[in-house]
Amino acid sequence: MNWLLIFAIMTGALTLANAQQPIPVVKPATDGKVWGALVYATNNAKGFVGSNEQAPADFADIPQRLEKVFPYQRFEILGQHLQDVFREYESWVVPTKDLFLKVDSKGPAEGGGMNLHLQFWRDQQVLVKTDAVLKAGSPLFIGGPKWREGQLVFVLVLQK
Amino acid sequence: MKTPSEDHDLIRWLDGEMTDAERARFSTRLAADPDLKAEVEMMQRMSSDLRAHLPAEMTVPYGDFFNSQIQVRLAQEEPLIPEARASWLDWLRLPTLITATAAVAIAGFMIMQKGPAAGDSVVLSIYVPNASVHARTFHSDEAQATVLMLDGVEAIPADRKIVGYYIERTETDQEVAMTTLYGKSGEVVLVVSKDVRNQPRLLSATPRG
Amino acid sequence: MPASTAPEPGEVSDSDLVKRCQAGDTRAFDVLVSRYRGKVYAMTYHMIQNETEAWDLSQEAFIKAWRAMPNFKLDSAFYTWLYRITHNVTYDWLRKKKMHGDGEFDDSRTEHRVAAGAEAVPRNEPAPDIALKNAELGKRINDAIAKLSPEHKQVILLREVEGLAYEEIAQTIPCSLGTVMSRLFYARKKLQEMLKDAYENAL
């Protein structure tokens, strides 16, 4: 095993053990902020896991929008993550450990928004890599794997 | 010393650019002139080596990025015809395009249902490593959202419990390529690092209740 | 005609894709890019022998092709047309490089010498005892190609790599048939001179 990995894991473990003493870091430059969420789409609300997560007020209409695209009526936000998009470093949007996104900024887009390189991961496997222009107020829905009686959908929105 | 026209004869013979009559005449000359024959043979050998060492087709490094960069640049170009926008139905009339695109995209294929408006997010390129997964993208006017649909992804087992997080803040340590994710109350929820194969490793503190 | 103009059976034809491009459809263009990027890249790479520059020039060629799409009348195969654009982009780049003082491939003096009789040029290198290995010959060929002038490089690649007929080379450059033959002859003579010891010692 690579020494850097061992170090990273050990440092990670220490960080977890000392939650009140986060490692001192300088905040890198950012190009914007995104909100990412993993949503369980189903027709049977009884199957909800009971997360009680609510979307931020700005994105409160996400379930209504999802309903226009996916053949389900009920949407439960399983996890959510508000993330700075670093200019020179990778950013991670991790609403769950099962499905998450790596985001690399490729700079501001012409006419507003951001050019991004996205990688959609499922555990240790990348499902899709994509270049995208994300505009504020225009969410990106990634239709992911089926789960139980429905489907998991990743939602990514650029904050205004 | 050969005349220029004889020089041309030599390469025309070599490149198969002679008529049958010319070829016959040149062959007679070749038989009578050992120097010319030796030169032709060397030229022939060189031609064959050139072809062997200079392939007509090469693998483009970062091929998918090559395509996506072109699409990015096209998106910044003035449209060829401002109103021109292929409709979804037009696209469907070309069913074999799916085959074509799948063949060139290594794995997976992309279909866009319609072009984006200025304020819409847009997916410019797609790369799907798993051949059994197909990706398509379109913009939904009704939902005012851009969709990247992955078909054929293996379902997550029903008995797998999916634990969601609420991440509000992140700190990143570039020295060790590690990101710490904090929750609502400032608690550490997760640490993201990468392993030797550059794959993400997620270490969670305690599952959120 | 380049052998690669026809797509595989079952694929959309180039001309259908071109028509869609002309209607502003960038996705159709993406298919064409995938279909021909390997050839375009190989051509630029052989001309300039630098991966990064070849990559960028190939991008440039495709962007220029996109811009020129409305003017393409489908009077030739798409690849022949794309080939001409790629060729012009690369050739311009080489000419500019030459104008900026890099005389690496200014072989005009060599041309004169070869024309006067290449056989008279003495060999300074002692003959190695064994034949050159394949890889070594490949390197020698690449080095020799790199030393050719853009004009000579151009005709050699169009003929030997792309397999174009003289008439097609003349149209691509464009120049007269006589110029094609003349350049091809001198280009081959120069290569022959540069590779002479390799062949003689390998024989």
In B139-168, the residues whose Cβ lies within 8 Å of chain C are none
Report how far residue B129's alpha carbon sits from residue A147's, in angstroms, rounded to the nearest whole number.
21
Say if CB B183 and CB A22 are below 8 A apart.
no
Nearest to C152 by CA among B134, A95, B11, B209: B11
pLDDT of residue C12: 86
Report how far residue B101's alpha carbon sits from residue B104's, in angstroms, rounded to the nearest whole number.
5
How many other CB atoms are there within 10 angstroms of residue C142's CB atom? 15
Instruction: List the domain boundaries for chain B.
Output: 4-53, 63-151, 169-204
pLDDT of residue B81: 53
Structure tokens at C203: 């024989």
Alpha-carbon distances, residue B123 vs A63, B9, B53, C178 (angstroms): 21, 56, 39, 51
Residue A120, domain member (yes or no) = yes
Say if CB C117 and CB C186 are below 8 A apart.
no
Which of A133, A151, A158, A159 to mutate to test binding with chain B, by most B CBs within 10 Å of its CB? A133
pLDDT of residue B91: 39
- The CA-CA-CA angle for residues B79, B81, B82, to 5°, reads 65
Closest CB to B66 among C22, C37, C163 = C37
In the block, which residue shows the tokens 């240790």? A124
- Which residues of chain B lie closer than 8 angstroms to A146, CB-CB? 153, 155-156
- The CA-CA-CA angle for residues C48, C53, C57, to 5°, reads 90
Tens digit of each residue's pLDDT (9 = 90 or more) over C96-111: 776 555 444 444 333 3
CATH 1.10.1740.10-classified regions of chain C: 14-99
Q: Where are the alpha helices (DSSP H) in C23-174?
A: 26-48, 51-68, 78-99, 108-117, 134-147, 150-156, 166-172
- With CA atoms as reference, the chain A residue closest to B75 would be A110
In the block, which residue shows the tokens 């010959």? C137
Q: Is C29 in Cβ contact with B58 (below 8 Å)?
A: no
- B135 falls in which pLDDT band (50, 70, 90)? confident
Count the domains in chain A: 1
**Which residue type is seen at A40?**
Y
Q: Is B126 in Cβ contact with A158 (below 8 Å)?
A: no
Report how far residue C133's alpha carbon sits from residue C11's, in angstroms, rounded to the nearest whole number.
41
Residue A56, domain member (yes or no) = yes
Q: Which ranges of chain C have pLDDT less than 70?
A: 1-10, 98-134, 201-203
Closest CB to A121 among B119, B161, B200 = B200
The stretch B113-129 carries a mean pLDDT of: 75
pLDDT of residue C99: 59
In the block, which residue shows the tokens 């996890």? A79
CATH architecture, range C14-99: Orthogonal Bundle (1.10)
Tens digit of each residue's pLDDT (9 = 90 or more) over A65-95: 999 999 999 999 999 999 999 887 889 999 9
Instruction: Could you please state the CATH topology (level 3) that the domain comprising C108-202 is classified under.
Output: Arc Repressor Mutant, subunit A (1.10.10)
Report how far residue A158's alpha carbon sits from residue A136's, in angstroms, rounded to the nearest whole number.
5
CATH 1.10.10.10-classified regions of chain C: 108-202
